[in-house]
């Protein structure tokens, strides 16, 4: 062991041991050291990591898995903006006593039984694999590793960032898969990423994808997907709802831009397709708890449309990157039922972008744009 080894030689030159790129410095002083490179730890380097992150899903629909998932999710102060002393008794004493069973049943109705996992996980994995294939086909200055993680549950952000770093990703692009920014979604993903990096000796350089609610590639993908899905229906909807996940009105009042991002996405999609405001309307779904959320509510709108004599509607979910409980069970299940019970006749849920060709074109375009100067 070379006891005269300095920080300089460690930090600047131990990379030579695994050098694969010609442009790395080859410091004369250092290579002349007779112990080089044996006195250097072996560390992989030279790659760029791309990490897709979505919300997460329980490991199973049983009580224990559901409880674990809901506890993690609903303990996040970005999601429930209440002081702990006020929220903890409600969460532990009321919500976690009943919701795991209720939500477990809902998840069971949309579960991917073949893979024994939620559809959100199946689709996010496929998006990651397809994006990796696209990057493998390109000639780039640095190899790109693509992977995926979940904010709550598995696979965790920590496990995937650690794995990417071990593979040699010195640069990391994180893609929170939420087109519209909300503190409860985008920010909480970034918080965890920063927390993970905080514990690393050799941190990767970091970029995070900004909200892409008005990105032309996203609007074009939505327009193409809508045209494709509508052409496959055996009826023509009288009204189309763009239904976004809601947030409490209070979060908006406190400055969250989510509502404005949703409204802009809707306007751009409408304009791209030449649709009127009456034909395509924006609503908010998935209320949680007693307080007021962003309005108009999807379920109330569906009910009043049916009651006012509208017979045929379609709903799409521009804010969800992948079909999940909230789109498959709440929209295609519950809201379909509400519509039919109140006099509606034909109902369609139009799929999310998922891993479709147009969805993958969009993800590739966003990623390549964010990787500028890195690859
Ligand atoms: C797409 C954006 C989302 C926002 C904004 C959001 C906010 C938000 N959500 C809850 C509570 C729950 N959401 C649940 C499921 C769920 N939420 C999103 C996305 C957003 N949530 C997705 C993609 C999913 C589905 C995950 C899946 O596995 O399929 C649930 C769990 C299910 C249930 O028990 O109802 C809860 C709870 C709050 C409080 C909130 C606040 C800002
Ligand atoms: Fe949610
Ligand atoms: Fe707004």
Nearest CA owner, ligand 1 atom 38: 79
Compute the average pLDDT of residues 176-195: 98
Query: Which band of pLDDT confidence, cut at 50, 70 and 90, is reported for residue 28?
Result: low
Determine the pLDDT at residue 10.
40
Summarised one tens digit per residue, pLDDT across range 48-69 is: 999 999 999 999 999 999 999 9
Nearest CA owner, ligand 1 atom 34: 103
Determine the pLDDT at residue 32.
60
Query: Which band of pLDDT confidence, cut at 50, 70 and 90, is reported for residue 36?
Result: low
Domain that holds residue 20: 7-43
94, 105, 326, best to mutate for ligand 1 pocket (most atoms within 8 Å of CB) = 326
180, 245, 260, best to mutate for ligand 1 pocket (most atoms within 8 Å of CB) = 245
Q: Is 326 a known ligand-binding residue?
A: yes
ipTM over 0.90: yes
From residue 254, alpha-carbon distances to 49, 188, 286, 301, 317 in Å are 34, 17, 20, 26, 25
Closest to 206 in 3D by CA, of 160, 158, 174: 174
Number of domain units in the chain: 3
Q: Cα–Cα distance between 286 and 293 in angstroms, integer? A: 9
Residue 8 CB-density burial (10 A; 0-12 exposed, 13-18 middle, 19+ buried): exposed
Element (H, E) at 359: helix 357-370
Residues 58 and 207 in one domain: yes
Q: What does the block give as tokens for 128?
A: 């990651």
Nearest CA owner, ligand 1 atom 30: 70
Residues 303 and 199 in one domain: no
Residues 13 and 52 in one domain: no
Residues 195 and 253 in one domain: no
Residues 90 and 39 in one domain: no
Determine the pLDDT at residue 18.
45
- Look at residue 144 and tell me if it is in a domain: yes
From residue 149, alpha-carbon distances to 26, 122, 268, 318 in Å are 36, 12, 30, 21
- Look at residue 1 and tell me if it is in a domain: no
Query: Which band of pLDDT confidence, cut at 50, 70 and 90, is reported for residue 161?
Result: very high
Determine the pLDDT at residue 42.
80
- Look at residue 2 and tell me if it is in a domain: no
Q: Where are the alpha helices (DSSP H) in 140-281?
A: 157-166, 188-198, 216-231, 249-253, 258-273
Residues 186 and 261 in one domain: no
Please say if the pLDDT value at position 2 is more than 50: no
- Look at residue 33 and tell me if it is in a domain: yes
Determine the pLDDT at residue 6.
36
- Look at residue 72 and tell me if it is in a domain: yes
Closest to 36 in 3D by CA, of 61, 65, 63, 4: 4
Q: What does the block give as tokens for 343?
A: 């006099």
- Look at residue 324 and tell me if it is in a domain: yes
Residues 93 and 191 in one domain: yes
Residues 197 and 109 in one domain: yes
**Domain of 314: which CATH number?**
3.40.50.1400
What is the value of pTM for the model shown?
0.92
Q: Return mean pLDDT, the chain.
A: 92
Ligand 1 surroundings by CB, under 6 angstroms: 55, 57, 73, 79-80, 99, 103, 118, 120, 178, 182, 184-185, 245, 247, 286, 288, 319-320, 324-326
Compute the average pLDDT of residues 171-177: 98
Determine the pLDDT at residue 102.
97
Residues 173 and 290 in one domain: no
Q: What residues pair up with 44 in beta bridges, in sequence order?
A: none
Q: Cα–Cα distance between 75 and 93 in angstroms, integer? A: 13
Residues 285 and 187 in one domain: no
Ligand nearest to the CA of 183: 1
Residues 39 and 135 in one domain: no
- Look at residue 338 and tell me if it is in a domain: yes
Residue 86 CB-density burial (10 A; 0-12 exposed, 13-18 middle, 19+ buried): exposed
Residues 106 and 152 in one domain: yes
């Amino acid at each position: 062991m070379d006891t005269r080894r300095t920080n300089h030689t460690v930090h600047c030159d131990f990379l030579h041991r695994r050098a694969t790129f010609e442009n790395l410095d080859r410091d004369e002083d250092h290579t002349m050291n007779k112990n080089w490179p044996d006195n250097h730890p072996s560390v992989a380097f030279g790659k760029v990591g791309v990490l897709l992150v979505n919300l997460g899903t329980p490991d199973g629909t049983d009580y224990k898995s559901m409880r674990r998932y809901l506890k993690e999710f609903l303990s996040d102060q970005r999601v429930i903006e209440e002081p702990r002393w006020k929220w903890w008794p409600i969460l532990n004493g009321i919500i976690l006593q009943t919701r795991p069973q209720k939500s477990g049943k809902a998840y069971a109705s949309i579960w991917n039984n073949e893979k024994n996992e939620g559809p959100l996980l199946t689709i996010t994995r496929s998006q990651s694999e397809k994006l990796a294939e696209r990057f493998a086909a390109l000639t780039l200055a640095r190899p790109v590793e693509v992977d995926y993680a979940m904010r709550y549950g598995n696979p965790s952000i920590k496990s995937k960032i650690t794995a990417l770093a071990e593979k040699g990703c010195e640069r990391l692009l994180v893609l929170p898969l939420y087109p519209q920014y909300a503190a409860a979604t985008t920010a909480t993903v970034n918080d965890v990423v920063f927390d993970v990096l905080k514990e690393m000796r050799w941190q990767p350089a970091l970029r995070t994808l900004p909200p892409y609610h008005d990105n032309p590639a996203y609007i074009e993908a939505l327009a193409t997907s809508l045209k494709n899905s509508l052409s496959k229906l055996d009826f023509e909807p009288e009204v189309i709802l763009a239904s976004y996940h809601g947030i409490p009105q209070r979060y908006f009042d406190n400055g969250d831009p989510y509502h404005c991002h949703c409204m802009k996405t809707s306007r751009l999609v409408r304009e791209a397709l030449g649709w009127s405001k009456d034909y395509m309307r924006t609503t908010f779904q998935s209320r949680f708890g007693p307080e007021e959320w962003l309005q108009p509510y999807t379920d109330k709108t569906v009910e009043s449309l049916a009651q006012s004599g509208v017979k045929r509607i379609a709903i799409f979910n521009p804010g969800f990157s992948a079909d999940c409980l909230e789109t498959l069970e709440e929209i295609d299940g519950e809201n379909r039922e509400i519509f039919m019970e109140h006099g509606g006749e034909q109902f369609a849920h139009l799929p999310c972008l998922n891993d479709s060709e147009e969805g993958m074109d969009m993800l590739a375009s966003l990623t390549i744009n964010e990787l500028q100067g890195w690859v």
